[in-house]
Structure 1
Amino acid sequence: MAPKVLVSDKLSETAVQIFRDRGIDVTFDPSIGKDKDKLLEVIGDYDGLAIRSATKVTEKIIAAAPNLKVVGRAGIGVDNVDIHEASKKGIIVMNTPFGNSITTAEHAIAMMFAVARQIPEANASTHAGKWEKSRFMGVELTGKTLGVIGAGNIGSIVCNRALGLKMKVMAYDPFLSEERAKSMGVTKVELDELLARADFITMHVPFTEKTANILSEENLKKTKKGVRIVNCARGGLVDEAALAQLIKDGHVAGAAFDVFKEEPATENPLFNLPNVVVTPHLGAATTEAQENVALQVAEQMSDYLLTGAVTNALNMPSVTAEEAAIMGPWVKLAEHLGAFVGQLTEEAIEEIEITYNGLVKDMNLQALNCAAIAGLMKPSNPGVNMVSAPVIARERGIEISTTTQDKTGVFDGYIRLHVKTAVKDRSIAGTVFSDGKPRFIQIKGINIDAEIGEHMLYTTNKDVPGIIGTLGRTLGENSVNIANFTLGRSGAGEEAIALLYLDEQPPEPALVALRETGMFQQIRPLQFDAA
């Protein structure tokens, strides 16, 4: 029997035809996406669900879909899909991460032109029958310095287009290597230098804990007088109220925003200010981009339903069905190893070395590599998946090497991740026990045996008395329960580490209290995907 797919949002007829041409029984009814009761009624009949943003794939919808195998999102964002619940039910969630990159980059360039020449205001004035030629004095882009915050897929396209406009381009991106920056023709800088030198600043980073409010009031005040700010990435990257005040004060010459902290944005501090260009989140809104992502999701879903091939999955590695049963725990281990290092690393990564020892060396190493790299990059780029992670790593000039070894030591197999930056190397190893649970077995060359939990605390210190008591007492005073406590040291009185598995994330007062003891060189709360 042919697989059945429901297209519940607006996709092009060409995309729908791809399903038909591949022999899939497809139902095209865009009205269902806005009718959750109707979707709940019919979803049980389908193997695949193709959506855009209107359809909400909730826990209730997933529970009513016993035959559903794959959800395909034509676009990047999957906020409308309960990925955790889908994973629990064995449903693959796919997106199309690169289909609208050019469109979004072009919109940023267009917004830069608009704010440089005050085009929207000049257009409105002329339509009103005025001829205010002297009022709209703009600036050239040629020769100006563009500061790009985030030089990933979209940011690198913006850099390329800006260089074609004869702009001087500098980029701030902790994951951008010097070699990659040179090959792009841009200057790699730290954020403070970018703020001080840029005539235009454009952002192309996801919204994370590290990037939230990256252009805070403090950072905005560090900018060059007369700077113009462009944001076509994500809302929440800029303190919009502070920016509005700096525009009124004359420090910032203008701004162009396609995204806002609160959307739909019907009110905003930036609205109705002079030389502020605003659009309603149009970054991906071109005919070409919408067509590209629709065609891509149709091809990806068809491939999976007909052949089992997995592309751009957000919750599953690219492995065969036979491999999945054996590799599942090792894939999770690889992700955890990457996530551990990724949460500790803020400088640009230059090299990633992954060693597979013993029985694991004969598994699907490409999938394991992807899992480790995705885990490594996810703390700074939460939208990354196992397919896009290696692409992003290559874009940033990161060298990736893999080594296999016959069994050595007491474990039947293990994975070691070694990450090099310009200033520091980090190393961690782990294995999977017979119960199928991943464990950390070595950090910084120090042997340990650590169970991995959703909330953890990592500390480094000199091996001196009182460490265990200080950790236990301080966390206890802040009502944080310790589920497991692992210690290791390189030698008596030498370097030591502790890894605590906690029931909840430690509050900031607990971390401050630990730092104030002066006993610890490093104190880092960590989080791991428990799914």
Structure 2
Amino acid sequence: MSYRVLITDPISQKGIELLEREPDVELVNRPEISYEELLEVVEDFDCIITRSRTPVTGELLKRAHRLKVIGRAGVGVDNVDVEEATRRGILVINTPGANTIGATELTLMHMLTILRNGHEAHMSMLENRWDRKRFMGTELYGKTLGIIGLGNIGSQVALRAKAFGMKVLAYDPYVPREKGDRLGVKLIDSLHEMLREIDVLTIHAPLTHETKGMIGREEFRIMKEGIYIVNCARGGIVDEEALLENLQRGKVRGVALDVFSQEPPPPEFIDRLKEFENVSLSPHIGANTVESQENVAVIVAQQVLKALRGQTVEYVVNAPFPDLSVLTLIKPHLDLAERMGKFLVQWADEGIRELHIEVRGDISEHFHPISAAVLKGILGEIVDFPVNIINAPYVAKDRGIRVEELFSEDSP
């Protein structure tokens, strides 16, 4: 069987070559194709591979009669109508983790820059000034680093920080303590408790309702004087107005930002940051390395091939439920279960680490999708990628949420 694959955005040549080598793949590479042209030709393809430029809309999917797989070369799927793709049984695949090292190293670059005044020293030299005394820095060695979010990138930052001789604390209510032990990182149950102890803060969490504005005026108030802050994760986690206030007061000694609540940031915000010397900025370039882009292209190509051939795919954003008639039959129960999950997140004081789900009565034979719907409701509130009843159990396991499922045909 032969598969027609269309690349609609630029990806690394390594991914293209991987697809070209496969005898059962007919590859069409049109990285500059317009949306209007794509509407006309999409019906002839089994798979499209995109980045963020191409909108994969409901309108497009309605014309994609052959389409089986959408490969997103990157993490975010904001440009893909995932719900419509799921409804049509089209797998949506992304590449989480492909840019981990690039984002990790950018974090360390920014951290070293603001502790050693690297950016200011550079500008001084370009102005023909030799002012050694002005650039007295601070060492990473012996300092305490606080990490918000101990996922792929946070974990890699922790390992490298320890190599610098830092003591590493982390706050992540969805990571099991065993993971922290393996990394040599002390997991702290309370964000405020961690903030009181650290010299440097770095953020590696998604932007969700839990993390939006997580670092605000109250959090700045309890930090040490002279704190350094690095954010290479998502804009909006740090209250930018509160950040400016604490830079003005001198409580924040240095700040490094790769992300902003609005991108590109308004000129007036940058102008206000210019008032302070120890500020290091970059335009959301965490994934902008040759290696990261190669990783993204190779991983998406590998995942697409597996999906087309019916093999196990590691990075599925969605998946069609095998028996659609069952979905229709129990839809009211699934909707209720999901809402219960959303309620639990809002009701719980801290992150949910353990869950007991019990299904009784005639619907007990469908307890797996009902349990997954509860998890979907919970996880949809705390992660920044789409979760459905297919991938929810795997996401929960990855985030250290223990689930106990009980079912019985007996009615309560």
TM-score by length of 2: 0.86
**Equivalent position of 2:244 in the other structure:** 244
Deviations 1:472-501 (A, max 9, x none): xxxxxxxxxxxxxxxxxxxxxxxxxxxxxx
Q: Which structure has the higher relative contact order (CA within 8 Å, separation 6+)?
A: 2
**Equivalent position of 2:142 in the other structure:** 143
- Asked whether the 8 Å contact 1:342–1:378 carries over to 2, the reply is no
Structure holding more strand per residue:
1
- Asked whether the 8 Å contact 2:318–2:391 carries over to 1, the reply is no
Amino acid at match of 1:69: K
Amino acid at match of 1:255: V
Q: Please list, as runs of the form range in 1=range in 2, the aligned pairs for 1:165-184 lying within 5 A after superposition.
A: 165-184=164-183
- Counterparts of 1:9 and 1:263, CA distance in 2: 21
**Equivalent position of 1:67 in the other structure:** 66
| Structure 1 residue 77: Cα displacement | 0.8
- Asked whether the 8 Å contact 1:313–1:385 carries over to 2, the reply is no
TM-score by length of 1: 0.68
Aligned mate of 1:291, from 289, 294, 304: 294
- CA spacing shift, 1:96–1:368, aligned 2, 3 Å: farther
- Asked whether the 8 Å contact 2:317–2:391 carries over to 1, the reply is no
- Counterparts of 2:161 and 2:261, CA distance in 1: 26
| Structure 1 residue 142: Cα displacement | 1.0
- Asked whether the 8 Å contact 1:105–1:158 carries over to 2, the reply is yes
| Structure 1 residue 219: Cα displacement | 2.2
Q: How many residues align?
A: 402
Q: Greater CA radius of gyration, 1 or 2?
A: 1
**Equivalent position of 1:24 in the other structure:** 25
**Equivalent position of 1:380 in the other structure:** 382
**Equivalent position of 2:278 in the other structure:** 275
**Equivalent position of 1:85 in the other structure:** 84
| Structure 1 residue 368: Cα displacement | 7.4
**Equivalent position of 2:94 in the other structure:** 95
| Structure 1 residue 112: Cα displacement | 0.9
Amino acid at match of 2:277: P
**Equivalent position of 1:341 in the other structure:** 344
**Equivalent position of 2:128 in the other structure:** 129
**Equivalent position of 1:202 in the other structure:** 202
| Structure 1 residue 179: Cα displacement | 4.2
Amino acid at match of 2:200: F
| Structure 1 residue 210: Cα displacement | 1.8
Q: Please list, as runs of the form range in 1=range in 2, the aligned pairs for 1:101-500 lying within 5 A after superposition.
A: 101-189=100-188, 190-265=190-265, 267=267, 268-269=269-270, 271-272=273-274, 273-307=276-310, 309-316=312-319, 323-325=322-324, 328=327, 333=334, 336=338, 338-353=341-356, 373-383=375-385, 385=387, 393-394=396-397, 396-401=399-404, 407-410=408-411
Deviations 1:73-114 (A, max 9, x none): 111111122223333333322111121223222221221111
- Asked whether the 8 Å contact 2:71–2:304 carries over to 1, the reply is yes
Amino acid at match of 2:247: I
- Counterparts of 1:91 and 1:161, CA distance in 2: 39
- Counterparts of 1:186 and 1:311, CA distance in 2: 27
Structure holding more helix per residue:
2
| Structure 1 residue 284: Cα displacement | 1.2
- CA spacing shift, 1:90–1:232, aligned 2, 3 Å: same
| Structure 1 residue 339: Cα displacement | 4.1
- Asked whether the 8 Å contact 1:177–1:348 carries over to 2, the reply is no
Amino acid at match of 1:283: G
- CA spacing shift, 1:142–1:304, aligned 2, 3 Å: same
- CA spacing shift, 1:295–1:374, aligned 2, 3 Å: farther
| Structure 1 residue 354: Cα displacement | 5.1
- CA spacing shift, 1:372–1:206, aligned 2, 3 Å: same
2:32 is paired with a residue whose SS is: helix
Show structure 1 runs of 5+ residues with no match: 411-446, 448-531
Amino acid at match of 1:113: L
| Structure 1 residue 230: Cα displacement | 0.6
- Counterparts of 2:29 and 2:229, CA distance in 1: 42
Deviations 1:205-255 (A, max 9, x none): 111122111112332233211001110010111122321232122111010
2:132 is paired with a residue whose SS is: coil
- Asked whether the 8 Å contact 1:176–1:349 carries over to 2, the reply is no
Deviations 1:298-331 (A, max 9, x none): 12122222226444222326x6xxx333654669
- Asked whether the 8 Å contact 1:5–1:47 carries over to 2, the reply is yes
Task: Give the percent of matched residue pairs that are identical in Structure 1 and Structure 2.
Answer: 38
Amino acid at match of 1:62: L
- Asked whether the 8 Å contact 1:150–1:173 carries over to 2, the reply is yes
- Asked whether the 8 Å contact 2:90–2:319 carries over to 1, the reply is no
1:31 is paired with a residue whose SS is: coil
- CA spacing shift, 1:262–1:180, aligned 2, 3 Å: same
- Counterparts of 1:138 and 1:4, CA distance in 2: 56
- Asked whether the 8 Å contact 2:43–2:66 carries over to 1, the reply is yes
- Counterparts of 2:277 and 2:200, CA distance in 1: 17
Deviations 1:151-201 (A, max 9, x none): 223222222222222211222222234444334322333122222222111
Deviations 1:26-84 (A, max 9, x none): 1011111xx22222222222221101112122233223323222211111111122223
RMSD over aligned Cα atoms: 3.0
- Counterparts of 2:344 and 2:91, CA distance in 1: 27
Amino acid at match of 2:244: A
1:307 is paired with a residue whose SS is: coil
Amino acid at match of 1:347: E
1:30 is paired with a residue whose SS is: coil
- Counterparts of 1:369 and 1:155, CA distance in 2: 29
- Counterparts of 2:134 and 2:395, CA distance in 1: 44
